[in-house]
Each structure stands twice: as structure tokens, then as C-alpha cells.
Structure 1
């Protein structure tokens, strides 16, 4: 791949006093594309991840979050995952109603367990959070990530903006 193919490419970066936005696309999938946009709102201390997938055929859409082997997790009925490490925690909330599960083994794949590697020839087994959308041509996944506090942020789409509300503060982030 090179800059002329643009199969995996970051095409948007914007940073100001209120927020940072990074967005790009992944065109290496067979007959499908994925656009991921990551927002960080500095005052609210929240990360929003918005994934848009489009395919020429119906497919299963999967988002995987690799977890450090030292992280403890719990899942709630409202599609939230609480990830704890020592006294700190983050909450990942799925705002588009995909079901969440956590796995520590893989099926129908060439490796048996999820893993990551910090250096060559070092394999560390871990768990993965999995969010799935079943057999669609298009999908949207929106995740809200909060740090050391409950997720009390409300998000809605208005025209070309994501509108975030928290404790009486309302902010607008442009949809990329």
C-alpha cells in the first residue's frame, strides 16, 4: 500500500481548545469499507468512537476491543462494559444497541485464544470485547468511553452534528 492506493487512510484531523477529531477509512475488506471517527471532548473528558460500515453484500459486522490481561471486566444488561485496573476504571457504552460479549477463546479461526504481543516472540493471552451487528449491508456503531466516572452523557444526532449533553452542558461535534 502507498499513498496513492489509499486503502487505509487518515483523512481528517482537527484539534482546538474544546475537542480533537481524527477520522479515516479502511478499504482493505472484501466488498466493504469502514470509516472510523474518534472524538475527544476535553472539558467533558469523554471519547466517542463512531464506526460506519458499508458493504455491497450482507455481512456480519464485528467490533473487537483487545483488553490488557490485567484488566478485570464486567458487562451490564444495557450494553456497557466496565473495565477495571487497580483503582481506575473506564466505561464503554454502546449507543447503537449492538450486543456486547467478552471472549477469551476463538472459534473457527486459526488461533485458539485472543492475544497481543509487546515484543517479538512474546504472546500474551487476553480477552476481547465483541460487539456484533448481524448480516446487514450498512452498520453504525457508536461508543462512548468515560474515565473514572459513570456514563451520564446523552448523545443524539442533529443534522450534521453529534450533540453531547452532560450535567447541563451541551456541546456539538461535527459528523465526519
Structure 2
């Protein structure tokens, strides 16, 4: 892929019921040599690679030092209530951290939210704009939280409206 100029991404989505930490660490370490864009959480960085930091920025810097990555994106969820979360993300590239807004999300279903984040991030990267990707990823994912099921039945117009507007009031 690199020889052809094609970017690759990995969503480091560790699931304890699917495999053990040691096996995941070995497998993902091998795959990371071919990865350009990593999507993850702080928790999964620690579980799979044993990488920690004093904060998420430092954890992102450490994984970027260890592997040949162009971008590290970390989703950040605060859970004040089971059904209501604060949702945002950061992106780390070339020793700088990009941030986006935080959404207060009333959760209907979390399934598919990470995939929605990945889709939005990749959308921006394909346009050559990491900040746009980060903004789109978090907005698309915030919208997905409001829908049942694991498929994000959202439109481009809904994401754009959320990016311009004050919050998650969507007309369906």
C-alpha cells in the first residue's frame, strides 16, 4: 500500500472476549508496521501495547514514536451517567495535537459509534484536512449514539448541521 501511495488505517478495538492481551499485542505490533493512521482509545493503547502517558497527548506521542504512524486519533469518552456521555477526540500528527469540540450525548446505542468516527476521520483525510476529519468523525459518531442499531443512518446534511449548530437536536 505504501509503495502505491495508499494510506492504511487500523482501528485498535481490543475485545477481551475475542483474544488475550498477549496475542493481540503480538498480532497488532506486526500489523502496525504497515499502518499510517491509528484510531484508538487510551485504554486500548495500554491493553494491547502497554503504552501509557500522563495524559492522552503523551500516550499518542509514545505510540507515534514506537510505530511509523502519520496520525494517531484517540476518542475520549467521559461517562457521568450510563445514558449520557461527553464525547470528543484528539488527533496527533507531527508532534502537534489537534482538538475538536465536545458533545454531550444522550445515548440510545453505542454500537457503531467508533466506526462512524473512523468514517468521518477518513472523510477529512481524503480531503487532505486532518482537522476536518477529526471534526467530522466526532460529529458523525455523536449522531450515531442517538440511533438504535449498529449502522449509522445519518446524512451528510445532518453532520454538517451539527458541525454548524449548538448541539444534538436533530429533525428526523
TM over 0.5: no
Tell me the TM-score normalized by structure 2: 0.31
Please say which structure displays the higher CA radius of gyration.
1
Tell me the TM-score normalized by structure 1: 0.31
Higher strand share: 1
